[in-house]
Amino acid sequence: MTTQKIKALNIPISKYVKNLNPNEKQINYKFDFGSVAEPGYTNVSASLEYNPSVGYGFNTPVNMKNVTAAGSGAGSDAVQFLTFGTKSSNTFNVDLPNGLYEVAVTLGDTSRTSVAAEGVYQVMNMTGNGATDKFQIPITDGQLNILVTEGKAGKAFTLSALEIRKISDKSKTDKTIYISGDSTVCNYYPIGTSLQCGWGQMLPQFLSNKEYQIRDMATGGQFARGFRDDGQFESIMKYIKKGDCFILEFGINDSKYETEAEFKEIMRDMIKQVKDKGAKVVLVTSQGKATDFDLNNVHSAVDKWYRHSTVALADEEKVPLIDLNVLSSKYYTAIGQEATAKLFMSDSLHPNRAGAIKLASIVASELKK
């Protein structure tokens, strides 16, 4: 019997997961949260408590609420998480055979929400009603525990739909490039059409997904200490392994929170922790603003945003450096002020889609070297 037919009969997950034909390893669960379900989805109401005999449900349904949503189909309703946080026990639990899974998330109505699973962040700051994204996650204890959590204080955090697809029987992620950074690097939603973009969002266009998956953990306004201490670096350290790569880029916001000496040591600490896991670190400097032209129409931002400390740190710790600051300035000088301005948002700092694509192409070219 196929998975879809079993779902249509509302047979508990545990009844068919344990008895899968060895030649039928494909597992694909589709959950529609809220009051009703679209065809092809399994309905999950806020009141559904996890039961081992069913194999899915909320750990603490008293902290869940059914709500409407502005989307269509599976996105027309949702559940709201009334308590949250990466360590919260208020999770949606799904029994799964151990292995590697791809999890696709569709939010309900929410301005900014992060997704957590297994006690750490998985996707950062999804923005806008009905936002979608996906991530890989290894299951090693027979159960996925997932929730949506705070991306912006005081807002509702809602989940409309969830699709879980088994990729392989191995319980570890594919080779991965993890990206840290700020608002010039992070994802913007909808990922495929947003006007403003971070270069990390565009990097998959230039690197084969057969070699690496890319996890962009950057967030707007972030700085080195915040990334290390507030959960994003913890997520990376939970999964990073030999053969993976960690791109470390900060500096734009750091002078507000750390001295340059402190910045350098925080960055050094992250480098050493990643090296201890057997993964590679690549340091990246921040690009300048569209307006960083001198009277001779030469673009330069070499003295900005703790760049000199990043360059020195790469030499001291013997890690590769992508000096995006200098490389992007060379390109901006070549195309001139007017063309450069067209690659940025109106604030002259944040790249638009075309600008992010160009920066990503530079980073990818250097990574391949």
Write out the catalytic residue numbers: 183, 347, 350
Match 């020195």 to its residue by tokens.
312
Burial of 345 (0-12, 13-18, 19+ CB in 10 A): middle
Give Rg (Cα) of the chain.
Answer: 22
Q: DSSP assignment of 186-251, as one string?
A: S--SSTTT-SB--HHHHGGGTS-TTT-EEEE---TT--HHHHHHSSHHHHHHHH--TT-EEEE---
DSSP state of 179: E
Instruction: State the residue for tokens 């006007």.
Output: 195
Q: CB 52: neighbour CB atoms within 10 A?
A: 12
> How many other C-beta atoms lie within 10 A of the C-beta of residue 283?
23
Give the Cβ contact number of residue 186 at 10 Å: 24
Q: How far is CA 30 from CA 64, 73, 221, in A?
A: 19, 13, 34
Asked if residue 358 lies in contact with residue 327, where contact means CB atoms within 8 angstroms, the answer is no
User: 């923005």: which residue's tokens?
Assistant: 127
Contacts of 318 (CB under 8 A, 6+ apart): none
